[in-house]
């Protein structure tokens, strides 16, 4: 049978969908439920469901980012949203990110049944049979689509906003709801660079701007852009720019004098 996970921070909705839908009529069974988005993601990664019905307005969870993460990790999985969030632009973006149905609370049983039927039909069209597929893409490749671009854009925004601090790939992955491995692959596929190369590139770019201020010592600049020690900053700067930070400053002074 097709495996189903239901996620909503209102327990009565989870229970209602679980009990009121005639799941066996659709050759489906519920393999997990959650009242929290992050817990729901853990269940999805553990159970590999074929179908997910989820709210997206839950505490500590960015719904669109979660949808993008699910779409890139499990491209064959069918996702429908059941939410009270009525903004058209939000619904449009969710559908662009791979959502099958966008249902507004309160939805009728007819609407819910139609969404489930549509999702199971989509699975059949993808030649995914009950219990034959874990919910992951059969070839295990990453999906190059709007969802992956959405995740990379969010990751890059977070890095740009936090480059001056000690940030890790794990932290960025947590903010985008994907695994470190998955985010690393998405960044490399979309930018041609690793996480450390992206981070160092941003830090050196900002360091070059600060070097134009003669009142700042190079050690200060190193700290301001997120390097933990001056020798490391010096090595990375020369690798990226081709000259030392001091040589770069002197060149800038000569040009601007």
Within a domain: 134 = no
Confidence of residue 127 (pLDDT cuts 50, 70, 90): confident
Interacting residues of 234 by C-beta distance below 8 A, sequence separation 6+? 222, 244, 245
Asked whether residue 172 falls in the same domain as residue 66, the answer is no
Within a domain: 130 = no
With b meaning 16 or more CB within 10 Å and e meaning fewer, what string describes 13-29? bbeebeeebebeebebe
Cα distance between residue 122 and residue 191, in whole Å: 32
Asked if residue 55 lies in contact with residue 79, where contact means CB atoms within 8 angstroms, the answer is no
Confidence of residue 38 (pLDDT cuts 50, 70, 90): confident
Within a domain: 132 = no
Per the model's pLDDT, the better-predicted residue between 58 and 149 turns out to be 149
Within a domain: 189 = yes
Cα distance between residue 73 and residue 224, in whole Å: 36
| % of the chain with per-residue pLDDT over 90 | 51
CATH of the domain at 196: 1.10.10.60
Q: Is 242 exposed, middle or buried (0-12, 13-18, 19+ CB in 10 A)?
A: exposed
Question: How many structural domains compose the chain?
Answer: 2
Which range, 44-48, 137-141, 156-160, 179-183, is most confident? 156-160
Asked whether residue 163 falls in the same domain as residue 221, the answer is yes
Angle at 155 between CA 85 and CA 36, to 5 degrees: 40
| C-alpha pair distances (Å), 256 with each of 213, 250, 252 | 12, 10, 6
pTM higher than 0.75: no
Given a cut of 80, whether residue 89 has pLDDT beyond it is no
Tell me the per-residue pLDDT of 47-57, one tens digit each, with 9 for 90 and over.
999 999 988 87
Asked whether residue 228 falls in the same domain as residue 179, the answer is yes
Within a domain: 224 = yes
How far is residue 65 CA from its own chain's centroid?
5
CATH of the domain at 24: 3.40.50.2300
Domain that holds residue 100: 2-125
Tell me the per-residue pLDDT of 173-229, one tens digit each, with 9 for 90 and over.
988 888 899 899 999 999 999 999 999 999 999 999 999 998 999 999 999 999 989
Residue 30 — φ and ψ, nearest 5°? -80, 125
Count CB atoms within 10 A of the CB of residue 216.
Answer: 14
Count CB atoms within 10 A of the CB of residue 240.
Answer: 15
Last residue of a domain, one of 90, 125, 160: 125
Asked whether residue 11 falls in the same domain as residue 101, the answer is yes
Cα distance between residue 197 and residue 182, in whole Å: 17
Last residue of a domain, one of 125, 159, 177: 125
Q: What secondary structure letter does DSSP report for 23?
A: G
Last residue of a domain, one of 125, 158, 190: 125
Asked whether residue 8 falls in the same domain as residue 89, the answer is yes
């Amino acid at each position: 049978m097709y495996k189903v996970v239901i996620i909503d921070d209102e327990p009565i909705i989870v229970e209602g969908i679980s009990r009121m839908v005639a799941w066996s009529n659709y050759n489906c069974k519920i393999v997990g439920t959650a009242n929290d988005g992050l817990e729901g993601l853990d269940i999805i990664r553990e159970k590999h469901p074929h179908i997910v019905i989820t709210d997206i307005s839950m505490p500590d969870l960015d719904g669109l980012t979660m949808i993008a993460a699910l779409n890139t990790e499990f491209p064959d999985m069918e996702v429908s949203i059941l939410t009270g969030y009525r903004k058209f632009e939000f619904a449009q973006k969710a559908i662009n990110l791979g959502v099958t149905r966008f249902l507004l609370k309160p939805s009728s049983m007819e609407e819910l049944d139609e969404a489930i039927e549509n999702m199971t039909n989509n699975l059949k069209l993808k030649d995914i049979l009950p219990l034959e597929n874990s919910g992951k893409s059969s070839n295990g490749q990453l999906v190059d689509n709007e969802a992956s671009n959405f995740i990379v854009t969010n990751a890059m925004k977070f890095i740009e906003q936090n480059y001056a601090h000690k940030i890790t790939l794990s932290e960025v992955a947590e903010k985008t709801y994907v695994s470190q491995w998955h985010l690393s692959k998405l960044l490399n596929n979309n930018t041609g660079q690793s996480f450390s190369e992206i981070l160092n590139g941003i830090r050196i770019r900002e360091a070059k701007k600060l070097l134009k201020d003669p009142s700042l010592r190079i050690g200060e600049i190193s700290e301001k852009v997120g390097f933990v020690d001056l020798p490391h900053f010096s090595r990375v700067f020369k690798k990226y720019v081709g000259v030392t930070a001091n040589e770069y400053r002197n060149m800038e002074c000569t040009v601007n004098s």
